[in-house]
Structure 1
């Protein structure tokens, strides 16, 4: 069953009912999780009661809106690395991306998740087909692409499927390196950044909290993350396999961010002892070098350093080429020793023409994905266990959303009853004036208890029936019978 997910704002109570689905549009995805996704959205009716100033009629509360959680994106399965480079979103450009998405008419909330394996937009959409067009246009503007160029590589999912997809991403099921741990931090950072920019609010905040919980469960309750646990780790393992060993090799790490730190730590674990670090911000390079007992060279001395190393691993996230053909050619003039270059940045740090130089082997994320695919079979059983967890967490999310949708009306009902209770006690204040403190306290407890018992069953039913026709009728009846506004 597919659920429409939407949480009401604090000043509105919303009760959601699915009606017939709209025309569907299929969009291929080759997720580990399963089959082709169908990009369609249910028609969703939301009954809203907004504002305390006046009573809102039943007809006024029956406002029709179309809201859904959707994910639309490109990943390492649906698009080549060259396309992923064009639609990647750097940290510096994230504020503009969030502002661009949330300014579009069909999008209420948005989170952009852009990693070396994917760029995805998670959104709360007014109307799915309108939101699909908005997000497609965003990708086209981002990458300088036409819709026809982009469309074959886009995948889209909505409601339950979108929730499940995010949970699988957070759990490491949708990664090139199955079970890798770096993605969980990337999901957290994407969410927190969108929060700070006003892009993620009630619905996506709840969704991403559940996603992080799913990712943690997957890694603590299964062996999905044993062995190779990150893209950084996998890159070092691939380099080790190519060279036989990293012991005695001179290694240069370009980039001292989160990915660069992962590479450096993995190098030490693999036995590399001669490690040099360079970064545009030299202070970060110094911190990382100190941690691994390595050396630092200034970024402007990159060419000179390349001339003296056997292995170069780069992951700057700069958004453009850092190491071009001419730089490496000049650095290696007259040198015939082999150089292995591993580029795990998106967009790529290294100009592809570098691979044409004598003695240079250039590997990028496409090579890493092919290499990592060999190890997937070993963890297939663990992946099945993780999918069970994902299914459980999707159901938990459904229950949480249901309870939160009913919460505003339930709270309003209890507040209304409490107002009457207090007013009636005030009206009888003169008759109760002679009571002892203990007796007065007993009257307070008695009246509160009566209210609680009277409202308990209606409150439970309102929460249980959210999203059903009877739930909508009950909510409307409560509004009308208790004169709630």
Structure 2
């Protein structure tokens, strides 16, 4: 079952190297020429979800009828049956993550690939519609953009996801490769557990990332876009993240990008004026609220907040009584910036709010900031254009510059990370045991179904021999219970040897050997059946 197994083709298919995408295209007709769906002239996409695509079917009379599609589907499945030695039969679907983060790519690259939360469901739908992708999830924050998938084929699946990222961002694949990381199976699982635990964050133990991982589950469940593997993966990651924070001191100190931003701003201001400097915040979202909280905790007494509407600012004001919060509308952003020594920006705007010409028109900073105006931009995409750095009286800092703050106390950070890794290793073992157990589920179902069919057939014969005059309800129930009892006792041993959940010393290899033996003895043909189900689901998804 190893994904790296080499498969030797029989003479009948010696030269054949069937491509899943090719067979899928044949199954839905020659008019399907793109891997992400059906051309608009045939179907108009209205929404996407795993297991199906909701479409409005065109009344174009040139379309083939449903029976033709079913014939094509059957034809494609028959081709797969004939090519039973194809490598897809021997590969286990891989869990993979492909993406980039603050550790691998500059903010200029990350902002081009960023997917707003409101578009996560759409992105998942497009990814699941790729030929070799069964399940998908998108985690896009200011520090990372990562795509988690369950891929029928590791190499082809990753290639399709890279092509999707390139198309979505406009960045050539050749340029993307220099910044992407790709992890598979256990490494991919460990990575997400580390992300949820705050080990991969700019600030060790950051709490906001756990909330963002939770949001992936919330959005995925609402849209129906999560499959059982991705769903379990993210739920276990959330559980691991909570456990790490509960059992270690990883969250002590500065634990968010917002807190690091405040630390950086106060570090750059003259020490004697750091708390009296005029503070301005653009955006009152989650990260903006954290900026206010951390400024208040540091002793800052007043901040001006520019936001589209006053409701969020009013809510923050009610919650935080130790700091004076003054609301200004978005139309007064530039005039408010003219009065500020430090400008924090934290909005979801996809276009810069401050450009060189805007900042050049502002007066110099006050004495409190040494005649400079500090822009601390914690948004991705950035709210402050890089051109602002060319203004002599301005200093611009973005999320990449926060490393200066979080590089302190490396020894303490490493100690906490090692404690967390012990917990992650335990949770990783549990998840892998659960996933390994899925290997044998189809065989368990087929074996029980096989036994139930025999039981039903033999019961029917027995009842006919006994005659209706003998078959009272009590007798019938007793005979049925007897048959069920015999079947359950006979199946108990084989089914126990098909379970691999980490509760005993049996290894996965032993369990899989048992599975293959039962498949041969009872002609269950599980592997081929699994593949046929996957291919059929893909064919029906594109046709629906």
TM-score, with length taken from structure 1:
0.78
The residue that corresponds to 1:35 in the other structure is none
Within the candidate set 389, 404, 410, 2:438 is matched to: 404
Within the candidate set 244, 248, 257, 2:285 is matched to: 257
CA distance in 2, matches of 1:355, 1:19: 50
The residue that corresponds to 2:352 in the other structure is 321
The residue that corresponds to 2:246 in the other structure is 220
1:142 has 2:168 as partner: yes
Alpha-carbon contact 1:402-1:463 (below 8 Å) kept: no
Measure how far apart 1:316 and its partner are.
0.8
Distance 1:430 1:233, change over 3 A: farther
Higher Rg of the two aligned structures: 2
The residue that corresponds to 2:542 in the other structure is none
The residue that corresponds to 1:386 in the other structure is 420
Measure how far apart 1:140 and its partner are.
2.1
Measure how far apart 1:472 and its partner are.
3.6
The residue that corresponds to 1:192 in the other structure is 218
Measure how far apart 1:400 and its partner are.
0.8
The residue that corresponds to 2:295 in the other structure is 267
The residue that corresponds to 2:490 in the other structure is 454
Distance 1:481 1:130, change over 3 A: closer
Distance 1:59 1:451, change over 3 A: farther
Greater alpha carbon shift after TM alignment, 156-165 vs 408-417:
408-417
Alpha-carbon contact 2:99-2:181 (below 8 Å) kept: yes
The residue that corresponds to 2:404 in the other structure is 370
The residue that corresponds to 1:286 in the other structure is 314
CA distance in 1, matches of 2:524, 2:364: 87
Measure how far apart 1:374 and its partner are.
2.2
CA distance in 2, matches of 1:324, 1:194: 37
Measure how far apart 1:321 and its partner are.
0.6
Distance 1:431 1:81, change over 3 A: same
CA distance in 2, matches of 1:208, 1:322: 35
The residue that corresponds to 1:33 in the other structure is none
CA distance in 2, matches of 1:390, 1:95: 28
Gaps of 5+ in 1: 1-15, 23-57
The residue that corresponds to 2:380 in the other structure is 346
Within the candidate set 165, 175, 183, 2:201 is matched to: 175
CA distance in 2, matches of 1:255, 1:124: 37
Q: Structure 1, residues 431-479: CA drift from partner, whole Å, max 9, x if none?
A: 47396xxx99988877655544332221111123766651341341465
The alignment yields a C-alpha RMSD, in angstroms, of 3.3
CA distance in 2, matches of 1:452, 1:95: 44
SS in 2 for 1:176: coil
CA distance in 1, matches of 2:379, 2:365: 28
Distance 1:454 1:353, change over 3 A: same
TM-score, with length taken from structure 2:
0.71
Distance 1:206 1:289, change over 3 A: same
Alpha-carbon contact 2:341-2:366 (below 8 Å) kept: no
Alpha-carbon contact 2:96-2:183 (below 8 Å) kept: yes
Gaps of 5+ in 2: 8-80, 501-506, 530-544
CA distance in 2, matches of 1:467, 1:169: 30
Alpha-carbon contact 2:217-2:235 (below 8 Å) kept: no
CA distance in 2, matches of 1:277, 1:458: 67
